[in-house]
Amino acid sequence: MRAHVFERLVEAIETADPYFKQKEDAIGRLGLTDLQKAVAAIHILAYGLPADAVDEYVRIGESTARKALHHFCRAIISVFGEYYLRAPNAEDVTRLLKIREECGFPGMLGSIDCMHWEWRNCPSAYKGMFTGRGKHPSMILEAVASHDLWIWHAYFGMPGSCNDINVLQKSLVFSAYLKGKAAPVSFTINGHTYDMGYYLADGIYPNWPAFVKTISHPLDMKASHFAKEQEKARKDIERCFGVLQSRWAIVRGPAYGWNREQIRDILTACIIIHNMIIEDEGKLAENTDYDNVGVGATPYQTITQERSEYINKHHKLKNLTIHSQLQMDLIEHQWMRHGTAKGD
C-alpha cells in the first residue's frame, strides 16, 4: 500500500481505540507509539511473521505485538467495515453491469467461489469437523469479486469438511435480495427481460437463476464458445484469491491462532485493507462518495407483506426454469457477439 493509505489507517485506529494512544508508565516514561503498534501489526499480516519476529524492527515484545495485532484488526473492522464490506449500491450495480455487458455477460454482478485457509492450531476437539479434503484442518472463505478484484461479499468460518453448497446455505450472500433491500437490477438478453443479477460459478453450485455455470460437455459450437467465455470470466474470483494471498502472507500460510473469532478478524481486516488498496489504485476512486454511504430508507411494510415478498423472492431465486432460460439466452448472446467479431 502507499504511504498515505497507511497513514490513514494509523490515524483512524488511534481515534477508534484508546489502546493505540501513547501512554506513560508509573515513572513517567513514554510507552509505545501508535505507529510502532500499527507497523508491528502490518508486518505480521503482510509477511506472515510470528509475533516475536518484529522485536528488533519496532522494539516491541511478542505478547504486545500479538495484542496490537488483535486491536488493529478490530479497529479496522469497526472504522472501515461498513463501507469497504458493503453490498453493491445502485451506483455500484450500474457500473458493474456496464463493465460486464461489454464482455458479453449483461446482468453479471461478479464471480463467486470458496477458498480454504488451513488452521494449523486447531484444537483437537475440532479437528474431525474442520478436516475435509486435505490432511489438515481448515476454514472456508466464501467471496464474491468483480473484475477489478473488489470483494463485495465475504463469509468466513465454516469448517473445512463442508463443501460450497453447505457454505452457501449458511451465508448471507442473498440476504439483502430476499429482504427487498438489494439494489435493483434490470437487463435484457435475447429478447427476454430479467430483474435479478447473477454470479458466475463453478459446477457444484445449484441450478438457480442467480448462478450461471459452464457447460461440462458442450455438444455444439455455441455451447463450446459459451463455456470458454464463462470459464474465462469466472477467473476473476481466482485472481482475487491469488492477489489476496500474495498481498497478505498470513493468509497464504496456515493460521496459527487458537481463537476462531480472532482468526476471523484477521481475515476480515485483510479484506478491508485489500479493498482500500484497490480503491487507492484508482479503479474505484471515481465512484467514492463518503457523504452518501449506505442505502436510503424504505417505507414501512406490514409483517404480512414482508413475509409474502420474502417467500416470492425465495421461490424466484431457486426457479429452475428461469435458470435454464437465462443460460440459453446467454449462449445465444455470446454466439451472436462471436459472429459479429469474426465478421469485423
Provide the residue ranges of all domains of the chain, joining segments of one domain with +: 3-84, 90-256+300-343
Among candidates 284, 339, 340, 278, which has minimal Cα distance to 1?
278
Backbone angles phi, psi at 215, to 5 degrees: -105, 115
- The residue whose grid cell reads 450461471 is 212
What is d(CA 189, CA 67) in angstroms, rounded to the nearest whole number? 53
pLDDT in tens, 148-189: 999 999 999 999 999 999 999 999 999 988 888 888 899 998
pLDDT given for residue 296 in this prediction: 44
Rounded Cα distance between 243 and 155, Å, is 18
Q: How far apart are CA 168 and CA 191, in angstroms?
A: 31
Tens digit of pLDDT for each residue in 68-86?
999 999 999 999 999 999 9
pLDDT (0 to 100) of residue 31: 82
List the Cα angle 316/320/322 in 5-degree steps: 65
Give the pLDDT of residue 284. Answer: 44
C-alpha cell at 212: 450461471
What pLDDT score was predicted for residue 44?
A: 92
Range list of H helices, 109-205: 127-130, 164-170, 175-178
- Say how many C-beta atoms besides its own lie within 10 A of residue 284's C-beta: 16
CB-hemisphere CA count at 13 Å for 68?
A: 32
Radius of gyration of the CA atoms of the chain, in A: 23
- Regions of the chain where pLDDT drops below 50: 283-301
Question: What pLDDT was estimated at residue 71?
Answer: 95
At 20, list the grid cell: 493505540
For position 294, what pLDDT does the model report? Answer: 44
Largest CA distance in the chain: 82
Map residue 20 onto helix, strand or coil.
helix
